Amino acid sequence: MLGFHAQQAVEKALKAVLSGAGQAYPRTHNLVMLLELLRTVEIEAPPDADSFAHLTPYGVVLRYEGWFKWWPCSTLLVMPKRSLQRGRPTGTTTYEAEPAIAFGAAVREERTNQGIAQETRAHMAGIERSHTGKIERSEHVPTLPLILKIARALKCSSAHLMTMTEAKLEESALSAD
């Protein structure tokens, strides 16, 4: 980790000097390339600048898998890559009743106000009828893509459905007091 931060500090410093001199620079983590560019615009590099080359791999190893395999630097310490953890964080629930109830009621109200049958709306949204029923019965909290599909099928904005949902949440909070 220290190597990464050292590389980043040198990279940012070199790019700042180049930028201050009005010199454009490429999107790169290669310190040797940045040093060569610095020298081409006749800016004096620090006396130990040639040692910066050993830092270059540290700027990419933590970011780009497989990059280090062809790097000739033998001093590079290969750190094990952490596995990517998908899904919800530990301790979170997959269902929250209040928003599910409010959203389901908002969707049902909008659908019935338009005189659209549940099955028709499901077809228009490209969602299984049983799934739309679960949303309206508050058995399922839809994802953002589903909310957008439902709003499109009802010919309203997702913001309109959210406003209705928020109003229903406020109503239920007031009635609980």
How far is Cα 75 from Cα 112, in angstroms, rounded to an integer?
69
Q: In this predicted model, which residue has the larger pLDDT, 79 or 113?
A: 113
Asked if the model's pLDDT at residue 162 lies above 90, the reply is yes
Of residues 156, 169, 13, the one with CA closest to residue 105: 169
Candidates 97, 147, 95, 149; CA nearest to 123 is: 149
| Average predicted confidence (pLDDT) for the chain | 80
- What average pLDDT score do residues 144-154 get? 93
pLDDT tens-digit series, residues 80-130:
555 555 555 566 566 678 899 999 999 999 999 999 998 898 889 998 888
Domains of the chain: 2-70 (no CATH), 97-176 (1.10.260.40)
Percent of the chain at pLDDT > 70 equals 77
Question: Which position has the higher pLDDT, 58 or 1?
Answer: 58
Q: Which residue has the higher pLDDT, 41 or 79?
A: 41
